[in-house]
Amino acid sequence: MVRMLENGEDPLFILRRMVIFAAEDIGNADPRAIELAVAATDAFRFVGLPEGAIPWPRPAPTSPAR
């Protein structure tokens, strides 16, 4: 993510992708992932750059739904 930001990628694009990943892929393993991703998006919209640095997501536990 840092590389994407350094190369000029829109932070809101990155956050949108995080919300989508949390809703689709990570949600089975960690139901709170969507809450965290949406909260990060809201915080960024409220604060902006450079103070609104994107938090590093922690790895989600492995889903038992395999």
Instruction: Report the pLDDT value the prediction gives residue 38, as an integer from 0 to 100.
Output: 92
H/E stretch holding 47 reads helix 33-47
Inter-CA distances, 1 with 21, 65, 66, Å: 14, 28, 28
Tell me which DSSP letter residue 1 carries.
Answer: -
8: left (phi over 0), alpha (psi -120 to 50) or beta: left
Instruction: Report the pLDDT value the prediction gives residue 57, as an integer from 0 to 100.
Output: 58
* Prediction pTM value: 0.66
The whole-angstrom separation of Cα 7 and Cα 24 is: 27
pLDDT band at 62 (very low <50, low <70, confident <90, very high): low
